[in-house]
Structure 1
Amino acid sequence: MQDYKKVPLTKSDIRTLKLQFRPGILFPLMLLVPGVVVVMTIANINPELFLIAGIDLTWLLIILVIGLTALMHFNMTKNYRADIKNKVKNVFLKPIQKLEEKRDFEAGSGTLYVGQEMNAFKTYYVIVDNVRHRIDEEVYKELDPNGEVAFHYAPVSNYLINIDRPE
């Protein structure tokens, strides 16, 4: 069994969780704008189409599109909202299988002229449960190859917030 504890969320953890709202904002907006434009265009081309029993339903359809996109937004972000509201995260301590340091090269950096060398940089990884996770250089230098590493998860969404050294 892994070591497990509940820890309060930090400001940076809350910021990380709020960044996960972006798809829940972008996708509904991508449907809202075309939906309203289509309804308004059809209403302008054929005004009688949305006229039922002398009542114009154009605004009702626009409100329906807005309501559906708002519902989509809240459904896509509800787990992250619950995590922020709970103000706690789960920290699991897992044994390190291996630490890796790899040299990589910046894509496209060697294409300016013949003979130009590509820009090199190092990436750092920790392998836990046969999965390679990328970590920061500072964390890499603080970890013991035979020790443990702390995985910080949001409890409701199960989002991996951070990988850090154990405290």
Structure 2
Amino acid sequence: MNIFGKPLSDYVRFSRLFLVLIAVTGLVRLALSLGGVPNSTVKWFSMTGLMWIAVVYYAIRVHKTGFGTYKHLLPVLAVLNVVFQAIAIAGILIAILTGNANVFSAPEYAFGGDGKTWSHLLAHVFIGTTLGTVLPWAIGCAILAATRKLSGGKTYESNHHVPQF
């Protein structure tokens, strides 16, 4: 499947550092929560924090490596958000099926309500996957614009070997 002239595998490869970090953090977060560790401790393993760091990192990296432009940043962030939302949805589904709350279904992460509901799960499926991609992309575009302006349009790749992670 091609997206903006690049195969999906290029976006996955380009974003693999934070794909792994977000996935591992989310799974650790879920495992700790299911293991009975208090949410006050589990919250320090933040997928959201990693996602925002990734927005800044990839908004700069997409330009500096010559990977692409604004439109190419969108699938990079979408791939990251799919992993993010899949883990959150899995946590909510586990809570629904078992009746036991976990960090993903806790009221403090479900706008104060019961997070063990199908409506919460569906909100992640439909709202989380769309707004969770478009909002970071909009902010990433502003960072990318600043990067382009500050670098004078020069990419790192045009003068050097691009390190791969």
State the TM-score, normalizing by the size of structure 1.
Answer: 0.31
- State the structure with more CA Rg: 1
Q: Which protein is richer in strand relative to its size?
A: 1
TM-score (norm 2): 0.32
Q: From the two aligned structures, give the one with the greater helix fraction.
A: 2
